[in-house]
Amino acid sequence: MKQRNHKFVAATAIALVSASTALAQSQLGPPLPGVTTPTRQVSTQDTRPGIDQLLQASQTQDLNPLAIIDSAGAVLPRSNSGQQTSGLSTALNILIVLTVISLAPSIMLMCTCFVRILIVLGLLRQAIGAQSVPPPQVITALALFMTLLVMTPTLDRINNEAIKPYRAGAITNYEDLWTKGKQPVRDFMFAQIEATGNWSSLYMVLEYRGVDVSQPEKLTRSNVDMISLVPAYMLSELKTAFMMGFRIYLPFLVIDMVISTMLIAMGMMMLPPVLISLPFKLLLFVLVDGWTLVVGGLLSSFAQPALGEQALLLLPTPEVMYACAPEGMHLLASMKQCVMSGGLRA
């Protein structure tokens, strides 16, 4: 009886697989009377540029991912009426959607403040000495919500300047949509690099791309494309996060040294200092309201974008350039004073 059940289940599975495979394939044999089989052909009137042309164009200008995804539809098989047919086109559409979804976390890591927040919170956990408290899921969730809080003005600009006009019909092509949508993100990344003064990473990337950086006073933001700006921004965020993490480490390092010295003086060298120092670290962190200080310092360390595409890359006043810290919001006053004195070109 059990063998019959197994055979029945196997036969049913084979029949389902065969039926699903037959639906995705073309019809075999002669056509039935009175039934017309649509023939697949590519529309010859499609004037959109191909993927190869867009990739070649990206060597000299900014890469437009929206246009590449749109041009992928030009190579999909179409019917006589211009509608996409089932089969390969459906599979390619699903592949494109899955590719975009898989790239979304990377885009969030590269172009937002998530990297700095996550690294600082991770270094804070290591400085306290509790390797599993708070859990990684809690730190990641806190970093995500803080990223959403910081990026809300930028997301609002993208919605107002790109998404709403595109839905209303004011923007009719992907080139304008990409230009309008990327500008708020570019302003945000430039604002962070300018606030921290980490221009060396940007100059390094530009020099590698073949741009003359011997006279930075002649360079403007419009000379920097997204391919050069994104890695420079990530290097700047990593440097800033490590500097903030070092400052967070200092008070906990002092506690570890004091506890270790006391244990050695008492002859208790076999007792791990972490067991004794962890309660004192937690007590210090709670007494000074550590979470509010760290989160508040992180939020205040991000500058708000206020300059346009024609702004100079390097500020002429070197006293404005200093490393980002929780006191970094004072840079806004210096920037305003510099703009009022004519130090920046609008």
Asked if 221 and 311 touch (Cβ cutoff 8 Å), the reply is: yes
Domain boundaries, the chain: 112-303+310-340
> Which tens digit of pLDDT belongs to each residue from 211-231?
888 887 888 888 888 889 999
Which residue did the predictor score with more confidence, 95 or 48? 95
Name the percent of the chain lying above pLDDT 70.
Answer: 62
Residue where the block lists tokens 């003064």: 197
Cα three-residue angle 346-203-105, rounded to 5 degrees: 90
CA distance 266 to 292: 36
Residues in a beta bridge with 41: 78
pTM: 0.66
Q: What 3-state DSSP class applies to 312? A: strand
> Which tens digit of pLDDT belongs to each residue from 135-152?
999 999 999 999 999 999
| Distance from the Cα of residue 18 to its chain's centroid | 42
CA distance 159 to 144: 20
The DSSP secondary structure of 41-84, one letter per residue, reads B--TT--PPPHHHHHHHTTTS---HHHHHHHHGGGS-B-TTSPB
The pLDDT score that the predictor gives to residue 68 is 60
Read off the pLDDT of each residue in 245-264 and give the average, rounded to a whole number: 90
